[in-house]
Chain A
Amino acid sequence: MSFRTLRRKAANAVFVGFCSIATVIAVTALALILWTLFSRGLHGMNLNVFTKETPSGLSNAILGSLMMCALAMAIALVIGILAGTWLSEFGGETRYGHAIRFLNDVLLSAPSILIGLFVYELLVARTIGHYSGIAGAVALALIAIPVVIRTTEDILALQPQALREAGSALGTPAWMVVRNIVWRAAGGGLLTGGLLAFARISGETAPLLFTSLGNQFFRTDLTQPMASVPKVMNDYALTASDELQQLAWNGALIVTLAVLAVNVIGRIIIAAKAEQS
């Protein structure tokens, strides 16, 4: 074997080694995080966590998170699906369409704390006058909307043009073609987009800091300050009390499991769709 071949082989071995080691390091580090999360989160996990109010449990925070995320998703699905439909079916190729697509990408990656700051200035300081669950939901919706728009446009663009033409050939008005044919054909994909957006916002903390604030009690009134799991985790992690820190880890595990479960369900839907076609 010549020296040159040897050198090339050595360089290759080093490279393959580096890539493998990089994967091992990264997977180990991430596994360590998950291990901490599970071992600390499972410790002290009991029914009280779900049934008692803070600081004995997380019931009010779980309820608050669910309510704010549900309202946020309701807003985000309506606006996001309509806007995504416009980009895919009507105005996507106009100059304005390209501009909207770019701005949507900007919004998609805007730091979430700035969304919180904006909603604070708009709703908390200027319109409502105090912290509220609605403000929290609007902040979360602003984070979910660009995700829904993105996935809606992508999914609708995948639907065959012939489907739309078949509908229009029967004299169906455009809005019925979209509603009864395009949206229906893309149903699973739209659902997945919604699920991904839901997963994204359910762990968000930064936008809730100045919008929903928190509430010690089990309340369903969205016009009042409202507790949320991530905010409670944030507050309790920084206390010196072992019990509260424990509760923060319980909350961390609940949120992570919820996010992972929603992600996995979304993946299963995509996989089932892919198998069908």
Chain B
Amino acid sequence: MAPPKTQRLERPRGAWADPLFRAACAGAATFVLVALSGIIIFLTVDGWPALQKFGLGFFTSTEWNPVTDIYGAAGPIVGTLISSALALAMALPLAMGIAVFLVEFCPRALSRPVAVAVELLAGVPSIIYGMWGLFVLAPFFAAKIQTPLMMSVPDGSWLSKLIQGVPNGANVFTASLILALMILPYMAAVFRELLLTVPAQVRESAYALGSTPFEAISKVVLPYVRTGSIGVIMLGLGRALGETMAVTFIIGNSHVFPKSLFDSGSTLASTIANEFQEATGMHSAALVACGLVLFMITFSVLAIARGLLSAQRYG
């Protein structure tokens, strides 16, 4: 008996393009690596002259003087950290409150529209917040809060030290307030999504034991998303640290340490935005070095955040 005829398998038409397509995709993915390395390399190379010349002094000195060509970025670095920390301190309780309210207490009919509105607000460009700060918040703050407060507080008390400054509304506190408003919708939206991942059984078992909603949320629901919420906090912080437009308009742009809450200051991003275009030589290098410092700060914050978030997702 003759063996059945076998048909030679042909390579499907077009299979030759497979390696090409794969390579194109892999190349595009590698682009991310190239871009990020490019950023780090260019910031390091162009900022190096400043770091080399001023050494540690770049991080510890507050003297930032384009005339004498001496640059110390301690003022902007501290300004960045303070304004972001303050913004986070203001935005975090509110963001958690909104998220908990929307997920746990809000009537169904109201919950979705508010949640959508919050998410849409997270997309409003940051320069809008900056303009609102410049035209609305700063004048209001100077006239209605700062001046009356300075008049009523006795000279020399600790409180007067905290609020001294030029009463024009452009200071570290108002900048932090604007930053807080800017990161608030974003944090609330992400936090809400995090709360929605908590299984109903977890909540129900807490209620079945007779918990009040407060107890169920604070002792069961929030601990359930603990790592994830640290991630959300860090992401909000990362946004605040690198934000440029919302801050530049309103922080007052002075390069020394802010002496009080209502004193003008600067951040790394606002310093770069204000001065880079006119800068040459060492001034330009110092600004790029500021960029490198900012990148390192945000990078470490994000690395921690991503680590914690993925621990939550896979753990």
Judge if A89 is at the interface, Cβ distance under 8 Å.
yes
Q: Which residue of A lies closest to B94 (CB)?
A: A22
Q: With a CB–CB cut-off of 8 A, which chain A residues contact B104? A: 19
| B25 with A90: CB separation less than 8 A | yes
Among B55-63, B66-74, B149-157, B292-300, which stretch is in contact with chain A?
Answer: B292-300
Q: Which residue of B lies closest to A260 (CB)?
A: B120
| A83 with B242: CB separation less than 8 A | no
CA distance A261 to B168 in the complex (A): 36
CA distance A248 to B249 in the complex (A): 14
CA distance A112 to B273 in the complex (A): 11
A223-251 interface with B by 8 A CB criterion: 230, 233-234, 237-238, 245, 248-249
| A30 with B121: CB separation less than 8 A | yes
* Closest-CB distance, A3 to chain B (whole angstroms): 15
Among A48-56, A115-123, A184-192, which stretch is in contact with chain B?
Answer: A115-123
User: Provided the pairs A173-B15, A205-B125 are in contact, do residues A114 and B39 lie with their beta carbons within 8 angstroms?
Assistant: yes
A184-214 interface with B by 8 A CB criterion: 199-200, 202-206, 209-210
| A25 with B94: CB separation less than 8 A | yes
* Closest-CB distance, A275 to chain B (whole angstroms): 15
Q: Please encode chain B, from 1 to 33, with 1 for each CB lying within 8 Å of some chain A CB and 0 for all others.
A: 000000000001111011011101111111111
Judge if B164 is at the interface, Cβ distance under 8 Å.
no
Q: Please encode chain B, from 114 to 151, with 1 for each CB lying within 8 Å of some chain A CB and 0 for all others.
A: 10111011011111111110111000000000000000
Interface residues on A, range: 35 or more
Judge if A157 is at the interface, Cβ distance under 8 Å.
no
| B127 with A110: CB separation less than 8 A | no
| A145 with B32: CB separation less than 8 A | yes
User: Provided the pairs A12-B215, A237-B131 are in contact, do residues A23 and B98 lie with their beta carbons within 8 angstroms?
Assistant: yes
| B22 with A26: CB separation less than 8 A | no
B35-76 interface with A by 8 A CB criterion: 35-36, 38-39, 42-43, 46
CA distance A136 to B241 in the complex (A): 23
Q: Please encode chain A, from 104 to 140, with 1 for each CB lying within 8 Å of some chain B CB and 0 for all others.
A: 1111011111110110111000000000000000000
Interface residues on B, range: 35 or more
| B184 with A122: CB separation less than 8 A | no
User: Provided the pairs A115-B39, A175-B18, A256-B124 are in contact, do residues A110 and B242 lie with their beta carbons within 8 angstroms?
Assistant: yes
| A267 with B276: CB separation less than 8 A | no
Judge if B302 is at the interface, Cβ distance under 8 Å.
yes
Judge if B288 is at the interface, Cβ distance under 8 Å.
yes
| B25 with A83: CB separation less than 8 A | yes
Q: With a CB–CB cut-off of 8 A, which chain B residues contact A145? A: 31-32, 35
| A105 with B306: CB separation less than 8 A | yes
Q: Please encode chain B, from 235 to 268, with 1 for each CB lying within 8 Å of some chain A CB and 0 for all others.
A: 1001101111100010000000000000000000
Q: Which residue of B lies closest to A209 (CB)?
A: B273
User: Provided the pairs A86-B25, A109-B298, A174-B18 are in contact, do residues A206 and B244 lie with their beta carbons within 8 angstroms?
Assistant: yes
CA distance A82 to B96 in the complex (A): 37
| B277 with A210: CB separation less than 8 A | yes
| B14 with A86: CB separation less than 8 A | no
Judge if A16 is at the interface, Cβ distance under 8 Å.
yes
A18-73 interface with B by 8 A CB criterion: 18-23, 25-27, 29-30, 32-33, 36-37, 40
Q: With a CB–CB cut-off of 8 A, which chain A residues contact B27? A: 82
| A205 with B244: CB separation less than 8 A | yes
| A111 with B244: CB separation less than 8 A | yes
Q: Please encode chain B, from 260 to 290, with 1 for each CB lying within 8 Å of some chain A CB and 0 for all others.
A: 0000000001001100110000000000100
CA distance A244 to B95 in the complex (A): 35
| B213 with A12: CB separation less than 8 A | yes
* Closest-CB distance, A157 to chain B (whole angstroms): 13
* Closest-CB distance, B311 to chain A (whole angstroms): 13
| A264 with B120: CB separation less than 8 A | yes
| A121 with B249: CB separation less than 8 A | no
Q: With a CB–CB cut-off of 8 A, which chain A residues contact B100? A: 19
CA distance A78 to B303 in the complex (A): 27
Q: With a CB–CB cut-off of 8 A, which chain A residues contact B43? A: 114, 117-118, 121
CA distance A114 to B306 in the complex (A): 20
User: Provided the pairs A23-B101, A29-B181 are in contact, do residues A11 and B17 lie with their beta carbons within 8 angstroms?
Assistant: no
* Closest-CB distance, A214 to chain B (whole angstroms): 11
Judge if B217 is at the interface, Cβ distance under 8 Å.
yes
Partner of A110, one of B29, B93, B123, B298: B298
Partner of A83, one of B20, B28, B106, B136: B28
| A113 with B29: CB separation less than 8 A | no
| A103 with B277: CB separation less than 8 A | no
CA distance A275 to B295 in the complex (A): 42
Q: Which residue of B lies closest to A78 (CB)?
A: B28
CA distance A23 to B272 in the complex (A): 35
| A30 with B35: CB separation less than 8 A | no
User: Provided the pairs A79-B31, A234-B245 are in contact, do residues A12 and B291 lie with their beta carbons within 8 angstroms?
Assistant: no
CA distance A114 to B28 in the complex (A): 22
A-B contact list, 7 entries, CB within 8 Å? A15-B213, A86-B25, A91-B29, A106-B299, A109-B242, A174-B21, A209-B277
Q: With A18-B97, A103-B33, A106-B36 given, name 15 new contacts (CB 8 A).
A: A16-B213, A29-B184, A40-B135, A79-B31, A80-B28, A100-B30, A104-B32, A110-B36, A113-B273, A149-B32, A175-B22, A199-B123, A238-B134, A256-B124, A263-B120
Among all A-B residue pairs, the 10 with the closest Cβ atoms? A203-B125, A111-B242, A22-B97, A175-B21, A86-B25, A82-B28, A83-B28, A12-B212, A19-B101, A12-B214
